[in-house]
């Protein structure tokens, strides 16, 4: 047990010092990915009580009935919210003919129980941004992997995602704004709609095009959808609002 605590302490002290020396982590994505994966493995084998998951709050604000929501494309929660957990966006393969249509925020540290290496008929894949259009507001994210964070409000008790607006209605508080994303209508895989932060981040080291679960910006299409006020082909915004 003493050795376990010693190893855990060394890892935590080392990563803390590295973060202090290079707070922006702009020049070493591979190193950051390695340290992240190392901490995740140590949490699995040593336990989260020894190496707890990272949060943005030094002291967890315990609030009964606080609203929870997922912030897609970010690893931090808006001010006034606590981090429940951080992780990776995931869902069904974009070419799957069936399977769940929900995008999930998978935690950094999974916990397994009984398992088998035999093939399953249902799989979950990591999510990539598909913003290859050069004029896309988030073109810089193209082919990068999508992070996420689940947040709990200190005081608000309700949370809703409002599509096609980057402002909340009267009486509601804006937690973050962004763009509406979902699966391509040209693909067979199931998908849903998620609100990706307009200042979205990426998972370090995840630029490789692996084509698992894919998210595209959603455009308005005139017809049954009235134009105006909607505009054909324009990317739709979104807002996460609490009350």
- Write the DSSP string, 181-212: EE--TTSSS----EEEETT----TT--S---S
Antiparallel, parallel or unpaired: β 213-217 and 125-130: parallel
Distance CA 42, CA 45 (A): 5
What is the chain's length?
243
With tokens 């399977």, the residue in question is: 99
Residue 80 inside a domain? The answer is yes
- Other C-beta atoms closer than 10 Å to the C-beta of 176 total 23
Same domain, 234 and 193: yes
**Domain residue limits at 235:** 65-242
Distance CA 46, CA 110 (A): 13
CA angle (101 as vertex; 100, 106 as ends), nearest 5: 80
Domain's final residue, options 10, 28, 52 = 52
Q: Where are the alpha helices (DSSP H) in 88-194?
A: none
| Number of domains, the chain | 2
Same domain, 48 and 69: no
Same domain, 4 and 118: no
Same domain, 21 and 131: no
Distance CA 69, CA 180 (A): 15
Question: Tens digit of pLDDT per residue, the chain (243 long)?
Answer: 454 554 455 455 555 555 555 555 454 545 555 555 566 556 555 555 555 555 444 444 454 558 999 999 999 999 999 999 999 999 988 888 888 889 999 999 999 888 888 878 889 999 999 998 888 889 899 889 999 999 999 999 999 999 999 999 999 999 999 999 998 888 888 889 999 999 999 998 877 888 888 999 999 999 999 999 999 999 999 999 999
User: CATH no. for residue 196?
Assistant: 2.170.240
Residue 199 inside a domain? The answer is yes
């Amino acid at each position: 047990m003493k050795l376990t605590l010693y190893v855990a302490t060394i890892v935590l002290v080392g990563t803390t010092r590295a973060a202090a020396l290079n707070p922006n982590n702009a020049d070493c994505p591979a190193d950051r990915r390695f340290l992240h994966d190392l901490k995740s493995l140590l949490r699995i084998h040593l336990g989260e009580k020894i190496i707890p998951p990272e949060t943005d709050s030094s002291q967890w604000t315990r609030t009964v009935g606080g609203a929870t929501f997922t912030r897609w494309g970010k690893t931090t929660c808006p001010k006034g919210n606590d981090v429940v957990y951080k992780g990776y966006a995931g869902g069904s393969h974009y070419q799957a003919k069936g399977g769940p249509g929900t995008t999930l925020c998978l935690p950094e540290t999974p916990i397994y129980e009984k398992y088998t290496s035999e093939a399953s008929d249902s799989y979950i894949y990591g999510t990539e941004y598909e913003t290859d259009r050069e004029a896309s507001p988030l073109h810089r994210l193209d082919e990068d992997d999508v992070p996420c964070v689940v947040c709990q409000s200190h005081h608000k008790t309700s949370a809703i995602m409002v599509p096609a607006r980057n402002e909340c209605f009267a009486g509601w508080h804006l937690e973050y704004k962004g763009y509406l994303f979902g699966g391509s209508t040209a693909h067979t895989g199931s998908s849903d709609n998620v609100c990706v932060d307009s200042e979205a981040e990426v998972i370090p080291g995840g630029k490789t095009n692996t084509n698992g679960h894919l998210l595209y910006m959603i455009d308005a299409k005139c017809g049954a959808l009235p134009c105006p006020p909607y505009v054909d082909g324009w990317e739709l915004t979104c807002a996460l609002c609490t009350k």
